[in-house]
Amino acid sequence: MHDHPDSMRLRVKRCRKLHPELKRRQKLRYYRQFQKNGRRKGQPWTPSELRQILARRSTDRVLSQRLGRSVQAIQMKRSEILRADWRKKGIL
């Protein structure tokens, strides 16, 4: 018989509180999987890359592999571009 989702959530929360090092390892492992494509780290973004980021024709993970940038870098750049655009339009 399966546990109720709330009781399972409480059990996981209790376990993480008792073993903070386990939570840290899990977060690090999760974070690393998106940092694999850092071939162009520190290099300026090209207009072609920026167009691809804004087009959203594929997932960020696929785009990351194609561009050689991390998923986080792509998401941050997209957010930065959109924020700047919103400021120009007076939305922010």
Residue 7, pLDDT > 60, answer yes
Number of domains into which the chain is organized:
1
**Whole domain around residue 61: which residue ranges?**
5-89
pTM: 0.58
Nearest to 64 by CA among 80, 77, 47: 77
Residue 92, pLDDT > 60, answer no
Nearest to 22 by CA among 32, 12, 36: 12
Q: How far is CA 57 from the centre of its chain?
A: 17
35-88: per-residue pLDDT in tens?
Answer: 666 677 778 999 999 999 999 888 998 998 888 888 888 999 999 999 888 777
